[in-house]
Amino acid sequence: MNITINLFATLRKDRFDSARQEYPSGTNVRHVLSILLIPESEAAIIFVNGRHAEPDSELRDGDALSIFPPIGGG
What is the per-residue pLDDT across 23-42, written as a single tens digit (0 to 9) for each? 999 999 999 999 999 999 99
Q: Which stretches in the chain have pLDDT values below 50?
A: none
The answer to whether 3 and 19 have CB atoms below 8 angstroms apart is no
- In this prediction the pTM is 0.92
What pLDDT is attached to residue 73? 59
- Any idea which fold 2-68 has? Ubiquitin-like (UB roll) (3.10.20)
- Residue 9: strand, helix, or coil: helix
Q: Is the dihedral of CA 19, 24, 49, 56 positive or negative?
A: negative
What pLDDT is attached to residue 72? 67
